[in-house]
A and B are shown apart, each in its own frame.
Chain A
Amino acid sequence: MQALQTLREVARQPQRVAREAKAGGKKVLGYRCVYVPEEIPDAAGVTPFPVFGTPEAIALADSYLQPNMCEFIRNIFDLALKGKLDFLDGLVLCNTCDAVRKLFDHWKTYVQTPFCYLIANPQKQSTDTGYRYQYEELRRFKEAVEGFAGTTITDESLRQSIRTHNETRSLLRQVYELRKQDPPLLSGEEALSIVMGSIALPKDRSNALLRQLLSELLGRQPPVKPGPRIMVTGSIIDNPTLLNMVEELGGSVVIDDLCSTTRTFWHPVEEDGDPLGALAHHTIENPVCACMHPAEARFDYMLSLAREYNAQGIIYFNLMYCDPFLYEGTLFKKKFEEQGIPTTVLQAEHTSSSMGQLRTRVQAFLEML
């Protein structure tokens, strides 16, 4: 399980990957949210890096962003104010939630990296005009990255970048196939680590590791005891506390729908034709985030995931003050239950001690199934 171990170590301290790239003379662009097309900076020879939080207490950010804002975003801003993200040459965000948009304003004013960009993507699925609008947004973004990197991104280099990223997506889908078995061939923690590690690493490295991982996983014994099959969805989860808790209490996490996992790789980007157009389609056709509309498409997508992986219950995780998933969880709980899938909405803060308080709810939910 060499590959698994490597990915797990990366997932534990993803920041290291970015530091190494920086030390190797690369420019590093941090990014947040699934609608930032990493393919573009990659094609310009700039390292895109998904910024994660750390479980440390927030110290400096509270006097800028009120404490009743998303703790994940406040955590990232706090790290930046403390100088702990000094390996970043810039930050790229996209138009998702309030907290992300406010991070843009505050980063621009108080962190002041050489590059700070917000892609103002549409929030509505598949309209022709939305496509044209997003195409122009991405064209502007590409131009900005070119200026920042001092290179030109050719169609061919962008296409190549899309192919490499698609390979990661496809390998991760193959890994996720192994969760369909009963009991699943991966624990929830393993799946999270594999994806987090793969999205943090440069993609050629991820692809090599994932191929190795797939061969290592074949023929292994299931790591978790059989139990109620659970889908975990909701706000971002960047540490395995909740997933481990579910499995300790007798459930198996068999599928997830999270910003740190499936949302980043579920849908491939078209490889033929205009590469920028393909990336624009990718954004507007896949409403994988709760900020996106229509809600019906989100629901159908989640329901199909739950069905495909034969989930018996859904844990809808809500990070405190994460509005998109607060609304969605409240509205979808009923809808999932109408479909015969019991659902529980759990609210917690970003820290693991707060997660600990969820134990009774998780256990009672599993007992109910």
Chain B
Amino acid sequence: MRAVIEARRFRKAEWARLQEAKKQGRPIVAAIGLLPREIWHALDVPAMILEDLSVRASARNLSGIYCDIAEQQGFARELCAVHLSLAGIAASEEHDPFIHSIFVQPDLIIGRTFPCISESKSFLYWVERFGRPYHLVDVPINTWGSPVAPHAVDYLTAELDGMLEFLEKHGFKRDPVRLSQSVLLSRKAMELWQEVEKLRKVVPSPMTAGEALSCIANPMMLLLGSEAAVRIFLTLRDELAERVKAGHGVIPNEKLRLLLVGIPPLYNLTLMSYPERFGAVVVKSDLDFLGGSPMPPEMLLPEQPLHSLARKLISDLINPCSSSKVDYTVGMVKEYHIDGVIGLNKRGCRNFPATLRLIKDAVQREAGVPMTIFDLDGIDPREYDESQVVSHIDSFIETLARRR
């Protein structure tokens, strides 16, 4: 897809920018992801997003190596592989050439208490390893559903303001005009995303969830608030509109539509298209709505940038209280005309796998759609057994086909 190629180009440009910033001696911020990236773009902060490092390592089949290194540092194997890999990357003296090309020594570290304990604690190892000043943003959990409680929004607004103060103390300049612009760009991207979502719901599906990983999930995590995200989503929207108009689906004879909940094996993404041989398409995955928020884009107000970003982050579906995520998933199942849901139980994650049963019961009850759940660590390939996974998918598709 053109959008996928474009997204890749922007991603590479981001990495190059980071290396360039390091060469120029500008302070590099290592940040736990999903803090409002609009702020990095507005303040021109060279930010290295930690989970993105992990994801890249996994895509190159390097997670096993880095997890091993982390275990040698005393970290338990039971921990989340995203964060084990991060500890391993921090501990390594030498890197694989690819990781070397995207990793830079941080000068500042920014962490966040959200959405899980790993996210809240693992960056402290980076702080210790690199001995750099750090700042922690406390993100309230959302127990209220929608709309989010005003006192929580106020608190997070103040927390984000504290983060800006920390950045200012270390030489970055707070620019209210650019912050507003960034929020506006984010809003534009979110509006385009909604159009994209509408087009994706068409049967037959014009794109796969695998493609969405690069041209939706990734820009959503890294590029919101920049022109780049708008450009990518614009390209994507136009491309999807063309395909829909032409009645062009991913495969010629689409029989079954699947929703994937959880992290697919990033080290073996061809698995995402495996069901296609049975006429089944993975049309949607929860990864591409995790960075998104069910909050209407028009609530992103340029005149209240931090407040808007705070509200958006609290209503983000990654928020650890499950009800909003369960409701949203049920909505997706209905709107995307999903025939079956595949839930992946990632070893070491105490957050998402513990919503799978809630989702399974809810989609069965409210949409009459079955869900299968099995163990698969999408990051760490050390215990991946393809034959097992494939036979699980085979039997699930068989039961779906029989239901039709």
Direct contact of A and B (CB under 8 A): yes
A118 contacts B by Cβ under 8 Å: yes
- Interface locus among A47-55, A93-101, A223-231: A93-101
Contact B78 A326 (CB under 8 A): yes
Known: A120-B143, A321-B78. A129 touches B158 (CB 8 A): yes
16 residue pairs of the A-B complex, CB under 8 angstroms, read A64-B357, A99-B350, A99-B354, A101-B321, A106-B358, A108-B323, A109-B358, A109-B361, A127-B162, A129-B159, A130-B155, A133-B151, A290-B121, A291-B117, A326-B75, A331-B121
B141 contacts A by Cβ under 8 Å: yes
User: With the chains together, A215 CA to B140 CA distance in Å?
Assistant: 46
Contact A69 B138 (CB under 8 A): no
User: With the chains together, A105 CA to B142 CA distance in Å?
Assistant: 12
**Least CB separation from B128: chain A residue:** A331
**Least CB separation from B115: chain A residue:** A98
B186 contacts A by Cβ under 8 Å: no
Known: A99-B350, A105-B321, A136-B151. A122 touches B140 (CB 8 A): yes
B4 contacts A by Cβ under 8 Å: no
Contact code string A308-347 (vs B, CB < 8 Å = 1, else 0) = 0000000000101101101110110100000000000101
Residues from chain B with Cβ under 8 Å of A105 in the complex? 321-323, 354-355, 358
User: With the chains together, A109 CA to B117 CA distance in Å?
Assistant: 23
Residues from chain A with Cβ under 8 Å of B122 in the complex? 327
A63 contacts B by Cβ under 8 Å: yes
A102 contacts B by Cβ under 8 Å: yes
A149 contacts B by Cβ under 8 Å: no
Residues from chain B with Cβ under 8 Å of A347 in the complex? 76
Residues from chain A with Cβ under 8 Å of B118 in the complex? 323, 327
The A-contacting residues of B in range 310-326, CB under 8 angstroms, are 320-323
**Least CB separation from B118: chain A residue:** A323
Contact A323 B154 (CB under 8 A): no
Identify which of B113, B155, B162, B347 contacts A133 (C-beta below 8 A). B155
Contact B78 A68 (CB under 8 A): yes
Question: Nearest Cβ in chain A — how far from B177, in angstroms?
Answer: 25
B79 contacts A by Cβ under 8 Å: yes
User: With the chains together, A308 CA to B320 CA distance in Å?
Assistant: 38
Q: Which of A98, A106, A118, A323 has most chain B Cβ within 10 Å?
A: A323
B370 contacts A by Cβ under 8 Å: no
Contact code string A88-122 (vs B, CB < 8 Å = 1, else 0) = 00000001011101101110110000000010101
Contact B113 A124 (CB under 8 A): yes
**Least CB separation from B356: chain A residue:** A66
Contact A69 B140 (CB under 8 A): no
**Least CB separation from A135: chain B residue:** B151
User: With the chains together, A118 CA to B356 CA distance in Å?
Assistant: 20
Residues from chain A with Cβ under 8 Å of B308 in the complex? none
